[in-house]
Structure formats: structure tokens, C-alpha cells
A and B are shown apart, each in its own frame.
Chain A
Amino acid sequence: MLALKGLGKTYAGGVQALAGFTLDAPPGEIVAIIGGSGSGKSTLLRLISGLDAPTSGTVSIHGEAVHEPHPLINLIFQEPRLLPWLSVRDNVGFGLAHMPRAEQAARIEEALCRVKLEAYGDRLPKALSGGQAQRVAIARALVTRPEVLLLDEPFSALDALTRETLQQHLLDIWAQTRATMILVTHDIDEAVALAHRVIVLKPWPGRILDNIKIAYPHRRSGVAFDQARARVRSALHQSLSVPAPADIRTVWAQHPSVLETSP
């Protein structure tokens, strides 16, 4: 059980990035965190992972306080952050140095299979595509079998097709490992389709604006999906204090020249 109590972070210089963030995530829950730029999402994950210390509040797992990176918690960054001098296999095994070799090898192969990169073990990171590199990063976090997996916009730099594939991989992985996942995202569809619960953040200071349970998680269509989507969407726009933006076609209508000219 991951418990966050009144988490707050004020950076040097006085920016209050996060305030009073409280959340209990039972084992196996996928929580999506959504919010505008600067609403404290990355800050939140850095606090949970123990990379940064909170200014106020506590993080605990199974009742044990987290002050620094914890073996049961792993963080997948927005960029793959692979170590360029290690092969894919050694990158994946990076967190296993303390284990017997045979056990390492078995876990690495298992993780590579999970992200469907069995054939790429000997490559260097420079020879990977963006999506492959991100999958290696996911595998690297998986091998240590964390109970809590933190993901900071892991798919935001990828094209739509790759993103959907990786979302599917992530759900497969969740089905097998039942890890608690805190997934930061900008994408409403991604949040609603993957999470059991969506938390909408409001910036300056970052705090919870809405906490939406998804009735039928892991579906991409249906009335419940549409309702949840609409609610997240309106909360998000409220958090940005802007009216819901016009449809892209209305935007183009303001530039008639674009509509008239065909390429």
C-alpha cells in the first residue's frame, strides 16, 4: 500500500510546486495524474521516488517511510535515459548487479520478452528507435520487480501508433505483475483508458482538483468511457482556467486561406 500524506514541495526560490497532496493507492491500482504544464506532476513523482525530499508531508510504502530511493519503488522518466555505453541487455540488468549471474540473465530475458525486444539484447542504445529505447527503459524498471511503478509521461514523445502499442504492453505487464502504477500523462484518452482512477491537478500550487473513479477501466469505448472522458476533460479545462478550446476546425475557419489552399 502506497500512502502519500499532505505532500508539499516548495523549490528554492519560492515556487510552490505541490501542496497538500494526499493519496492512498492500494496494491495493483493504476492511478493517472493529469494536469497542465507546471502543475507539479513531475515534482510529485520525484517526491514519491525519493529523488527529492518533500518540504512537507510523508511518503510511505507498507507503513515504512520513504526518504530516499526505495527498492520497491521504481521511476520511469519521460526520456529513456539509457546508459549509452551499455548494451540493451546490460541496461536492462542495471539494477540487478547484486544478484547471481544466472538469476540476472533469466530476469533480463523475461523483461526483454515482456517489452518484445528479445532480439535486441546486444544492441547499443544509439541503434534504437525512440519507442524501442522507451521499452528498454520500462524493462529496466521491471526487472527489479517493483511494487510501485512511477511513469512520467512515458509515451508522450512517441507517435500515435507506437504509443498505443506501448499502452497495450503496459496493460499486459500490469496484468502479469499487478504493480501499483502512478502514470503521469497529458493525454485524456490515455488516462481514462489505462487507469482505475484519474486525478486532475491544478497548478500554482499543484493540488488535487478532481479525483475520478473509472467504472469500467481498460476499455476504450462505451458510454462509461465517454462520460469519464468528458468529466476529466472539463476538470482539466477548469484547472487551466480557460474555456474548453474550440474544435480544430473552428480554429482553421479563422484562417480561411488555409482552408482554401490545397497542397
Chain B
Amino acid sequence: MTMNALKAGNALKAGSVSDVASGAIDGPSRAAAGSDAPARPDRPAGLSSGRWGGVLIRFATAVALPVGAFLLWEIAVDSGFASGRLVPPPSRILTTLVDLWTAGQLVDHIVSTCLRVLLGFLAGAAAGALAGSLTGYFRVAHAVVDPTLQALRAIPSIAWVPLFILWFGIFETSKVVLIATGVFFPVYLGVSTALLSVDRKIVEVGRIFRLSGFDLVRRILFPAVLPAFIVSLRAGLGLGWMFVVAAEFMGASEGLGYLLVDGQQLGKPDQIMAAILIFAVIGKLSDAILVQATAPLVAWQDNFSRGGL
């Protein structure tokens, strides 16, 4: 075994020597050809025709699974294999959607739910980012505040519902506050831990150039934590959608959560499914918007890229 390893080592060494030699030969000519020559040949074609095609293919790939499942279920109900009473087939869900739409309520339900999530998300993310920055940057703040926040984080947030209703009434305020609470913790945790784990080596670069205080934050710490911040925003947004349902369960006359409760009480599984479907679509859509909007900010990351589709 040792022998083999040594042999492999020798072979490797021989390989690397010849690599160096060939590199030395084509090095200067490549340098003369200009540094970004390799990128040129395949780019322009890809830009003109392939772009929308690529988006289309990506979209088709992404929806293939749910669409396939819907088709199978439709066939199963159609051919009598399943009754479709409790799990209505897609066609019936679609009819329900169209009915709700033409009755003019659907848009109102969607808008009021989205508005609650948006407000709760903005408030929770702002508070989380602020608290996370303070505890991540100031040791004292971390020592004093973090344990308490971690304990609060351990409370299942639904447990706040009765209290929030007592404090803020049953209307919008208590709903938005509940959503904000859900968004707050992942954002807080993300920002705080990211700040605490910024690479000392990069901070030392800032110190060598005599940055301190606000300049250090602005030029080193903020860009360094930006990727983690964006990830925490995505987690927060996800929780925002989760908590809006809880909020709307506690007495709402409008919203997708109301459609769910209403569907349960009146025995309309197709309405429940329709609401769930809308949640899936706008939840995914809001996440995609967040990712797209922030992508240019973190394009510098040297990631393991997924390639392919």
C-alpha cells in the first residue's frame, strides 16, 4: 500500500512538472492575447437567444412536479379511483378560484393578507437587524440582552396570541405585531451571529488601514454580514407567511387565513385547497422577489455554483 501511494506520488510529481513546463510555454502568449480572452467566444450568443429560453426551461422544470401531481389526481378522480370528496380534484379547485375571483372577494383577501405580511415583515426585520447589530457589535449589549432574547425566542410565538389580543385588540395591530414577532427572531439571530463570526483576518485589514468605529462597520462589517443578513431575511419572510395564518385564525373577516377557517367551518375543502394554493404561489413569489432584488448585492461571493439549469 505504501508502495502504491509512493508510486502515485511520483506519477503526480511528474505530471505537475510537465504542467508547469507547458504553463511556462503558453503563459506569455496567453498574456499577450489579453486577460479576459477566454470569456469572449461563448458569451454573445448566449445573451441574445438563450436568455428567455433559459428562463422558460427553468420555469418548466420548477412546475413540472406539482403540475404532474395535479394531473394524476385529476385522472384518479375522473376515472373513479378516488372520490375527491375531501381532496377535491384540481378542476374543482380552479372553479372555486374563478368563482371567488368573479365574486370580487379574492383580490381583497390576497391584498389584506399581503399587506399584513409586508408591514409585519418590515417592522420585524428592522427591529431584528437593529437589535442584532447592537448585540453583535457591542460586547456589553450582547451580555445583557442576548440571553433574554434567546429565552423569548424559545417561546412558541403562537403563545403570544392571547396576550397580543389583550394588549392590541383583535384588529390589525395585534396581527401585525404577531407577524413582526415571528420575523424578528430569525433576523436578529442571523445578524447577531454573523457579526460575531466576521473573520478576524478581514477586520485586521481594516485596522491596518486605521479604520475604526463607524467606518469599520460601514466598510468591513456591513458588507461581510450582508449575505447572512439576506439569508435571515428569507427565513424571516417565511415565518411571516406562517404567522399571518395564525394571526388570521384569531378572528379576521378578511384574508387568506379567513378563507381557511371559513372553508373548514362550512365544509368546503375546495376553498381550503384554493387558499393553500395561493399561499404556495405568493410565498414562493415573494421569496423569489427578495432573492432577485438582493442578488446583485452579493454577486461577489465565491460560491459553489449549482451550474446546469
- Given known pairs A257-B3, A263-B14, the reply for A120 and B205 (CB within 8 Å) is no
Q: Are A83 and B208 within 8 A (Cβ)?
A: no
Q: Are B202 and A258 within 8 A (Cβ)?
A: no
**CA distance in complex: A235, B12 (Å):** 34
Q: Are B208 and A51 within 8 A (Cβ)?
A: yes
Measured between beta carbons, the chain B residues less than 8 angstroms from A159 are 20
Q: Which of B6, B34, B207, B223 contacts A85 (CB 8 A)?
A: B223
Measured between beta carbons, the chain B residues less than 8 angstroms from A86 are 300
Q: How far is the CB of A73 from chain B (nearest CB, A)?
A: 9
Measured between beta carbons, the chain A residues less than 8 angstroms from B10 are 258, 261-263
Q: Decide yes or no whether A106 CB sits under 8 A from chain B.
A: no
Q: Are A75 and B208 within 8 A (Cβ)?
A: yes
Near B by CB (< 8 A), chain A positions 11-53 give: 49, 51
Main secondary structure of the interface of B (DSSP, over half): helix
Interface size classification for chain B:
20 to 34
Q: Are A95 and B209 within 8 A (Cβ)?
A: yes
- Given known pairs A71-B210, A77-B201, A83-B205, the reply for A119 and B35 (CB within 8 Å) is yes
**CA distance in complex: A127, B11 (Å):** 30
Q: Decide yes or no whether B204 CB sits under 8 A from chain A.
A: yes
Q: Which of A71, A84, A97, A261 contacts B301 (CB 8 A)?
A: A84
Near B by CB (< 8 A), chain A positions 66-110 give: 68-69, 71, 74-75, 77, 79, 81, 83-86, 94-95, 97
Q: Are A84 and B302 within 8 A (Cβ)?
A: yes
Q: Decide yes or no whether B30 CB sits under 8 A from chain A.
A: no
Q: Are A261 and B201 within 8 A (Cβ)?
A: no
Measured between beta carbons, the chain B residues less than 8 angstroms from A220 are none
Q: Decide yes or no whether A124 CB sits under 8 A from chain B.
A: yes
**CA distance in complex: A258, B10 (Å):** 9
Q: Are B35 and A49 within 8 A (Cβ)?
A: no
Q: Decide yes or no whether A161 CB sits under 8 A from chain B.
A: yes
Q: How far is the CB of B157 from chain A (nearest CB, A)?
A: 34
Q: Which of A81, A97, A263 contacts B201 (CB 8 A)?
A: A81
Measured between beta carbons, the chain A residues less than 8 angstroms from B208 are 49, 51, 69, 74-75
Q: Decide yes or no whether A126 CB sits under 8 A from chain B.
A: yes
Q: Decide yes or no whether B220 CB sits under 8 A from chain A.
A: yes
Q: Decide yes or no whether A255 CB sits under 8 A from chain B.
A: yes
Q: Are B35 and A261 within 8 A (Cβ)?
A: no
**CA distance in complex: A227, B19 (Å):** 34
Measured between beta carbons, the chain A residues less than 8 angstroms from B204 are 51, 77, 81
Q: What would 25 A/B residue contacts be, using CB atoms closer than 8 Å? A: A49-B208, A51-B204, A51-B207, A69-B207, A69-B209, A69-B210, A77-B201, A81-B201, A81-B204, A83-B202, A85-B224, A85-B300, A94-B205, A95-B209, A119-B35, A120-B35, A125-B300, A144-B209, A159-B20, A161-B24, A255-B6, A258-B6, A261-B7, A261-B10, A263-B11
Binding site for A on B (CB under 8 A): 3, 6-7, 10-11, 14, 20, 24, 34-35, 201-202, 204-205, 207-210, 215, 219-220, 223-224, 226, 300-302
7 closest A-B pairs by beta carbon, nearest first, are A126-B302, A95-B209, A85-B300, A263-B11, A263-B10, A85-B223, A119-B35
